[in-house]
Structures are given as structure tokens and as C-alpha cells.
Structure 1
């Protein structure tokens, strides 16, 4: 006997998968996911552009109910793309659970308008703006012209290459291996010599310099080529 069309259509629809109801004393799954989502929203608040966050459902499987959930991210984890966020309970019956999440970030980033040799200074004309998803790009990508304009290229950069902050340094900073002039000033005299910087440093920061005779001295960066030693 033929089944009525309305009944046949109803039977072909898949049944909805409901989240299991926690037993008394067990942790609710949705509260874990909500805590992780709120944490990621807070952590990503300072990111540029349009942010979209999704967090996968949690499956606590009998974990003890917790009054205070503590979301966290593994040390060094990037704040966009696919990531893992943890939620822990530090109560009498402590536990930790990890959830998969994704932060999609659409923003403006910048490319090199032309080929740049090491040591060249970037101007606004050397930047090309591009709008897109930053998920597949390095976390150090340049997203503001002020991060590049006035900076010096540390490496050879091809035209059209997305710019990263680790490719650049402030024109007033010194970088490891750079030749600097060391100036020692005292009452009524000043002595200068050349040396090689042994660490990266910005103006006002301390830098170690190895002189031509092998002596290692410490001074304060004055500008992109001068280190001062107060006697």
C-alpha cells in the first residue's frame, strides 16, 4: 500500500541531534563553549578588520560541574586562523578540556610596491594596500602604514610581497651585526670608535658592542648609528 506523500516526506527528514542533557553534578557542555567563545571575543578585540569567531561544541562526558570556568590559550598561539582554546576548572574535582575554534579576520594589509634592497627606507609610495583574509598570512603582517613608513628593510624584498614587521626595523634602531659608532663622553672630552652591535635595540635601550680590538662594551642607543657610553 502506498504511503501518503506527506508522511513519506516527514520520514525522510533526518532527526535533529540534540546535545545530551547533563546529569546532576555534571558540567553543561554549552556553558563550556560559551565561555570559550566569550574569551576569544575578548582576546581578539584589538585585532584590525572584521572578525568572525566559531567554536566547536564541547563534549564534557561526565566532567564534574564547575562554578568558575577558566578559558585559556596555549602559550605562543596565534590569534587568527584555526586554533585550540582550553577551558579548565580548578575546583575540588579539577579538569581541563580543549575545543577547536576558528577566527576569520578580514582586514587591510600591505605589500611592497617595488623591489627593496636591504637598508632602503620605506615611504608611503612604497606600500600597496590589499583587503583580504589574514587567516593564511603570518601574524607579523603589516596592517598599518605607520608600521612600515620610515622603517629600514632588513632583507631583500620583492615587489608585490606581503610585508612583515620582522622584515623591517626602525630607522632610529640598531640591529645585530650592524656597524655603529660608539661615543664615550666625559668632562670636556669625547672619544669615538666603531664596533659591531651584538643585539637589536631601540633608542634609549641598552646594546652590547664588540669593538675592533675584541672588547665588549655596553651603551645606550642614541640613534640608528650611534651608541653612547657615559663615563
Structure 2
């Protein structure tokens, strides 16, 4: 699941299209707020709420319950009156946890200066995930008896959550968890896929092709980390440890 929960590709594409359509409405729909000197009118806040909700649902599980809490603009701001305010999602910004939505003035009233500010937003996404059934210390070897399923805010922290306790069998915690706390990928110790000197399979892939070969690991293969591998001809490559004695190289 990235960054937090798995969403089927077709459903995700549909949600992204809906979000894009909502964003495109901003330029024309906000004309109704042309005379507002205070940018946070009820109409604007309603639009921002919808924009944040659409952004959150684009990356959330299908049955997730989403709650949007809008914050306040910085009290020190002194914004000039504006005839047209446009909300927008900042590039690369994810509507997940502590986030923000941009507000920009497209048409300053009475020659007023244009401005661009951010409105803080808190996005909570409630879905079922695997949680600790009791207090678990750092270093605990996870078993299904130590875990259970519960509805939690999967957007509260960074890291992937899990829906199947079986995926966590044999994994070790790198930090303690309290009862009811979701187990996230960032809570787990990286798995060691192979040791220095072991023979490993190397898969090198690029556009339209893939080549498999074998070499010797020059470094321990920790899950997701880069490692150097030397082939019999003396050439070395750097790839990512992705499985039991397996290294992936993207060309």
C-alpha cells in the first residue's frame, strides 16, 4: 500500500479525474465571491472543503471515512480586498494529515495587490488497519496473536499501514507501540535479505527489456537499501535489495 493504503488503479484514476475537474472549476466558480474583502467567505470555505475532500479521497481506501478540518489564516496577514480568490492544491502537496491549500488573489479590487497565502488543513482518514493488541516493546518479534484489526486514522502518521496481520509475521519492531496503535512500515526493522559475500540474483531492467545475472554482494542487503554487487568479470553495479538474495538495478 504507499503512503498508506492500496487503491485499485481504475478507482484511483477515476478519483484523480474528479479532483482535476473540481480544480478546473475554481477559475470560473469563484467569480461569485468577487466583492468579498474577507477571502474566507462561507462560499469559499465550502469550496475549499470540497477540494480538500476530493484530494484526500484520491489516495484513500474506497470505504475510508474522511474528515476535513479547516484551520485559520495567519492572524498577522493583512490582505488587500480581492474580486476573485482561487483555491488550489500546491504542487506535490498531499491531502493527508497536516496539509495546506493555497489561496491566491487573481483580481485585486480597486487596484489592490494580488496575494498568495496558505490555509492549514487537517485531513483524517479512518480505515481498518492492523494495530497492536497490547503494549509492544521495541525489538518485539510480531505474531498474529499480538495484533488485531481496528479502525484508525491512517493519515495521522507517515508510513504504510497494513490490512493483513499475516504480512507482519516474523517482522521486528524498531520502536515501542501502545495498545490500539497502527503498525506502520516505518515502525519495522529493515529485513536483511543477504550478507556480505553471498551470491545474489541481479535483475537489471530498462524500457522494454530486462536482464538477469548473478554476482557477489559487497555489502549486506538491507530491505530497500542500495547495495553494490560485483560480477565475475570484475564489473560492479549498485542496485536495491528487494528480496531474498535478490537485487534490482534500474537502467
For normalisation by structure 2, the TM-score amounts to 0.51
The answer to whether 1:97 aligns with 2:97 is no
The answer to whether the 8 Å contact 2:241/2:247 transfers is yes
SS in 2 for 1:32: helix
Identify the residue that residue 127 of structure 1 maps to in structure 2: 147
**Conserved 8 A contact 1:182-1:195:** no
SS state at 1:196 partner? coil
Cα separation, 1, equivalents of 2:168 and 2:83: 53
Query: 1:18-49, CA deviations, whole angstroms, 9 ceiling, x for partnerless residues?
Result: xxxx7848576434323321220111113243
Partner of 2:183: 163
Aligned with 1:50 (options 62, 65, 79): 65
Following the alignment from structure 2 to structure 1, what is the Cα–Cα distance between the partners of residues 68 and 241? 42
Q: Deviations over 1:114-144 (max 9, x none)?
A: 7588695x66555311234557x42326252
- Which residue of the partner structure matches residue 4 of structure 2? none
Aligned pairs for 1:109-148 (under 5 A) are: 109-113=129-133, 124-133=144-153, 137-140=156-159, 142-145=161-164, 148=167
Gaps of 5+ in 1: 1-21
Aligned residues: 190
SS in 1 for 2:182: coil
Measured on the aligned residues, the alpha-carbon RMSD in Å equals 4.8
Change (3 A) 1:84 1:197: same
Separation of aligned partners in 2, 1:24 and 1:117? 57
Compare the two structures and name the one with the higher helix fraction: 2
Q: Runs of 4+ in structure 1 displaced over 6 angstroms? A: 57-60
Do the aligned partners of 1:33 and 1:57 also contact (CA within 8 Å) in 2?
Answer: no
- Structure 2 Cα separation of the partners of residues 54 and 42 of structure 1: 14
When normalised by structure 1's length, the TM-score is 0.54
**Aligned with 2:224: secondary structure?**
coil
